[in-house]
Amino acid sequence: MKQLFSIIVYIVLLQWSAIASAHQIHVIGEHLIPYQSLVEGKIEGLAIDIAKELVERTQVQANYDIYPWARAYSDAQRIPNTLLLSVSRTSEREEKFKWIGRVVTSKIAYWRLKNRTDIQGPLGLHQLSELKISIQRNAVYHEYLKQHLPNTENLALTTTNAQAIKMLYAGRVDIMMSNEVTFKQRAAELGLDPDKLEKVNTETNLYSTLYLAFSKQTPDELVTLFKNTYKALDEEQVIDEIRQHWLP
């Protein structure tokens, strides 16, 4: 029986090795501390470490790049063997990608400058629609607001998340929507004082779950290999250890 089990394992490993050697992947994502970022020429972060564990276990060859969100999102919808990091899984995006596994779940918040004491929560959707909100175009928050606000005339759309943050600090908008883990870190990275920010309570608690996802054109056997490997890493608590390393 042991000999039969060993033979089966050996055959499976050979099949996995053949799949891995036949493919090279491109791992991409936007600059989003602490999930993935380019620091002094080195790409690092929570999602990067998960991707590297997957690549090491599967023995697939991989290249890593940090791009603006618009390019990363576009490439991941067009180019085979592209692994997109830290993408929110929504009903609108469900059929656009082949989903591998969860990176992290975080709470979404609305932010104002502390001196804007005229903006007080809890805010409902009708109240939010009356405020000017800076938001990165085609980000998951933009998709959410388009679906739920009574009107979207007051949305100030930007090309990058950094532009949206700078608009808030400049007083050109009333509030901004972003997740609790990354927002203050991103503001500080831009040379802005995060202590000037304050969360605004809303009537609804929102959460965003970020995933790793392959482009739709990626072969199913490669996707299955990565899904199975992710499951194994999760069961071994390797992914939890990576989260604990990067998150406070």
The CATH number that applies at residue 13 is 3.40.190.10
Is 167 a residue whose pLDDT tops 60?
yes
Is 70 a residue whose pLDDT tops 60?
yes
93 and 17 within one domain: yes
Higher-confidence residue: 202 or 115? 115
> Which range marks the domain in which residue 135 is found?
106-207
Q: Which positions ≥6 away from 169 have C-beta within 8 Å?
A: 113, 187, 192, 196
Extended strands (E) in 40-161: 42-44, 61-66, 82-88, 97-113, 133-136, 155-158
69 and 16 within one domain: yes
Instruction: Give the DSSP letter of residue 150.
Output: S
8 and 73 within one domain: yes
Structural domain count of the chain: 2
Give me the mean pLDDT over the 167-177 stretch.
97
In single-letter form, the type of residue at position 92 comes to E
Residues 201-233 have pLDDT tens digits of 887 788 889 999 999 999 999 999 999 999 999
242 and 219 within one domain: yes
Binning pLDDT at 50, 70 and 90, where does residue 9 land? very low
112 and 96 within one domain: no
For 188, other C-beta atoms within 10 Å of its C-beta total 13
Three-state secondary structure call for residue 122 = coil
Higher-confidence residue: 24 or 121? 24
Is 40 a residue whose pLDDT tops 90?
no
235 and 202 within one domain: no
139 phi/psi in degrees, rounded to 5? -70, 165
d(CA 233, CA 242): 11
Residues 120-147 have pLDDT tens digits of 989 999 999 999 999 988 888 888 898 8
116 and 199 within one domain: yes
Residues 192-201 have pLDDT tens digits of 999 999 999 8
94 and 43 within one domain: yes
Per-residue pLDDT at 248: 74
86 and 172 within one domain: no
- Mean pLDDT for the chain overall: 90
129 and 89 within one domain: no
230 and 170 within one domain: no
Contact yes or no for 50/100 (Cβ under 8 A): no
Is 17 a residue whose pLDDT tops 60?
no
112 and 194 within one domain: yes
